[in-house]
Structure 1
Amino acid sequence: MINNFQDFQKFGQTNVDTAVKFFGEWNKSWQAIAAEMTDYSKRAFEDGTATFEKLAGAKSLEQAFEIQSSFAKRAYEDYVAQLTKIGGMYTNLAKDAYKPVEKAFQNGR
């Protein structure tokens, strides 16, 4: 009887440890994603502000068009690069968060 109780206790502790690792990885990944999105938003705002200042100082319609076109191209390329990066971070989040669960299933067999 005592052996079974100790086994049960060990099994319970293993599950708690797995859950703590799972939520720890989950939390770190979400913090990294939030920090990356904050940095991107800050960069985009600063670029938009700088572009507006350039537009305000434009001496001709052609120059204003060139400034705006350059900004649109840069903003689009930055956005696509950011989406790719964040997509990769979400993928890693899923993989890392699943590792403790996968290990628990393997140990349970």
Structure 2
Amino acid sequence: MQDAPEAISALITSTANSPIGTFPSDSSPVVPAASAETVPVSYRTIANAYRNYTRQSLDQTRSFFEKLGGVRSLGKAFELQTEFAKQAYEGFVAESQKIRELHSELATQRLKIWKVL
């Protein structure tokens, strides 16, 4: 069972492996959170989820500024910024929900220990 944190991390990072320059809506579908219930959640799993989201967010921001540097019109810059803000918000909401579900599962696992006692 040593691979449990890595298995959950792989589920969480399904969108993190998208090519640089793409946004979350451009990547493959997100794996449902119900599959995470089959593997125990640990503090490391949650930390990995935060790390992966941070890495993904930084990559998206870097990509945005690269694209913004190539824009020649103010209208296109506003359009690009609006698209980035919308996709960053959607990604934040989705990742926050995943992390919240991981916290909930960890709490449920911890409370099961008290029920046994």
Indicate whether the TM-score tops 0.5: yes
- Which structure would you say has the larger Rg? 1
Give unmatched runs, 5+ long, in structure 1: 1-24, 105-109
Q: Deviations over 1:13-42 (max 9, x none)?
A: xxxxxxxxxxxx7xx521111000000000
Q: Which amino acid aligns with 2:114?
A: V
Q: CA RMSD in A?
A: 1.2
The CA deviation at 1:59 is 1.4
Measure how far apart 1:97 and its partner are.
Answer: 1.1
Q: Give structure 1 regions of 4+ aligned residues with deviation exceeding 2 angstroms.
A: none
Counterparts of 1:1-109 in structure 2, within 5 Å, are: 29-104=42-117
The one-letter code sitting in structure 2 at the alignment partner of 1:102 is K
Report the AA paired with residue 62 of structure 1. G
Higher RCO (C-alpha 8 Å, min separation 6)? 1
Partner SS state of residue 42, structure 2 = helix
Percent identical residues: 36
SS at match of 2:48: helix
CA distance in 1, matches of 2:84, 2:43: 30
Residues of 1 paired with 2:100 and 2:76: CA distance? 36
> Which ranges in structure 2 are unaligned for 5 or more consecutive residues?
1-39
Work out the number of aligned pairs and report it. Answer: 78
Query: What CA distance in whole angstroms lies between the structure 2 residues aligned with 1:46 and 1:61?
Result: 24
- TM-score, normalised on structure 1? 0.68
Structure 1 residue 84 displacement after superposition = 0.8
CA distance in 1, matches of 2:113, 2:59: 40
Q: TM-score w.r.t. structure 2 length?
A: 0.63
The structure carrying a bigger helix percent of its residues is 1
Distance 1:48 1:62 in 2: 19
Shift of 1:102: 0.8
